[in-house]
A and B are shown apart, each in its own frame.
Chain A
Amino acid sequence: MGITKEQIAQRIAQELQDGYYVNLGIGIPTLVANYIPDGIDVTLQSENGLLGMGPFPTEEEVDADLINAGKQTITTRPGSAFFNSADSFAMIRGGKVQLTVLGAMEVDQNGNIANWKIPGKMVKGMGGAMDLVASAENIIVAMMHTNKRGDSKLLKNCTLPLTGVNCITKIVTNLGVFEVENGSFVLKERAPGVSVDEIKAATEGSLMATDDVAEMKF
């Protein structure tokens, strides 16, 4: 139901503004780079130490010393810069990165997010996620609305260990665009062909929605 992962990325790309420094997480967020609107100059920050990330390299350009935070080989754009990990997180904690897009296992109506640990099952670590959500003014969560079992990922209260508290303001899923306001998810746009009732049924957390809410535009 709803839109594809690519379309989630495409919708988030509409939030980009000229001059933004942006950190894109692994998964759907990475796809946002494919939809940067023409005429908008955006610099991608990779927290392992690169500003100005370019596309994947050709076979000839592959350099083991040049990777992104997902450990994929990558290239640089003209005007890029390398730096150490402390400087990288100085940019992040210092509020210099204007937009952070990341995935989540759960978000809740108070803007809490959980995306790093499933006790007893997944213990890979938080990487840079806790630093990113602790400081960014402008965080967008990109994720599917429900998990593989079909359960809502927009909850009253996160059940998994938290990554950050009261930090998420906007969520884009395959069903709609949501903002977190006063302890509720507020439906701002719905995915084409998806009704408000369908979105309500798929959302466990408190949802505010008017019947005339607009469809997403691409």
Chain B
Amino acid sequence: MNKVVRDVEEAIEGIKSGMTLMLGGFGLCGIPEKCIDALSKRPKITDLTCISNNAGVDDFGLGLLLKNHQIKKMISSYVGENDEFERQMLSGELEVELTPQGTLAEKCRAGGAGIPAFFTPTGYGTEIAEGKEVREYNGKKYILEESLVSDFSIVKAWKGDTKGNLVFKATARNFNPVMAMAGKITIAEVEHLVEPGELDPNEIHTPGIFVHRIFEGKNYEKRIEQRTVRKS
């Protein structure tokens, strides 16, 4: 089966209004910027549920879809860098499910691994635990959290081969591998697409079985949110 798609347009084919998407990245680091940009140019795709740790900034990343009102619901852990997001949330236009970061990661990992729910200590005794089953193990309290899967997971890798095997760079890895696992269809955009055999099997982060479509993106912007330097 050929997983390589011609371009970003072919990659996002089949994404429809009302679907649930997972999008990798932490802040703007490791986000699938080509696919997000392409989705923002299809404004008729609306009512999306987007699962992503953050919501981009006003004019980049998921902020582009928010500005177009393409997102109905966000499932995220931290959304502090986006004024439009805050405005839509406070006005009730946007539904938001704030989820602790580790719980969010585990919901994706478990969803991809065929585990429908799990007990975690995170959030016990807080408003996150409201309505959730509590169990005690060895004297400590845990809450039941349900896993997540997506219609499409969209991830960004540094290198990938035509079999879908992926290698991530530095902290751009973040949520990408676990979201890749949890997609009914997983799209990978990569900076370098290579032939089978060019990547060392010892160094693959995401095995190709989790990836259904792959393409090489050009001219990545990789915007930096907090450029912080020391004097050399």
Contacts and interface: CB of A to CB of B under 8 A. Distances in A.
B121 interface: yes
A65 B222 contact: yes
Contacts of A125: 76-80, 98
B170 interface: yes
A127 interface: yes
A35 B222 CA distance: 32
A72 B121 contact: no
Contacts of A86: 105-106, 108-109, 177-178
B49 interface: no
Interface string B9-45: 0000000000000000011111000000000000000
B222 A64 contact: yes
Nearest to A162: B126
Interface in B165-222: 168-178, 205, 222
Contact of A93 (B30, B122, B126): B122
Question: Which of the four size classes fits the interface of chain A?
Answer: 35 or more
Contacts of B231: 58
B172 to A, nearest CB: 4
A67 B223 contact: no
B89 interface: yes
A134 interface: yes
Contacts, number: 178
Contacts of A135: 121-122
B7 interface: no
Nearest to B232: A58
A47 B122 contact: no
Given A65-B170, A163-B126, A165-B126, A131 B101 contact: yes
A72 B171 contact: no
Interface string A35-73: 000000000001111100001111110111111111111
Contact of A84 (B29, B89, B122, B176): B176
Interface of B: 26-30, 53, 76-81, 86, 89-90, 96, 98, 100-106, 108-109, 120-128, 158, 168-178, 205, 222-232
12 contacts: A48-B29, A64-B29, A65-B30, A68-B171, A82-B168, A85-B53, A86-B177, A124-B80, A130-B103, A131-B103, A164-B124, A164-B125
Given A49-B173, A134-B122, 8 more contacts: A49-B171, A58-B229, A67-B226, A71-B26, A86-B108, A120-B90, A134-B124, A164-B126
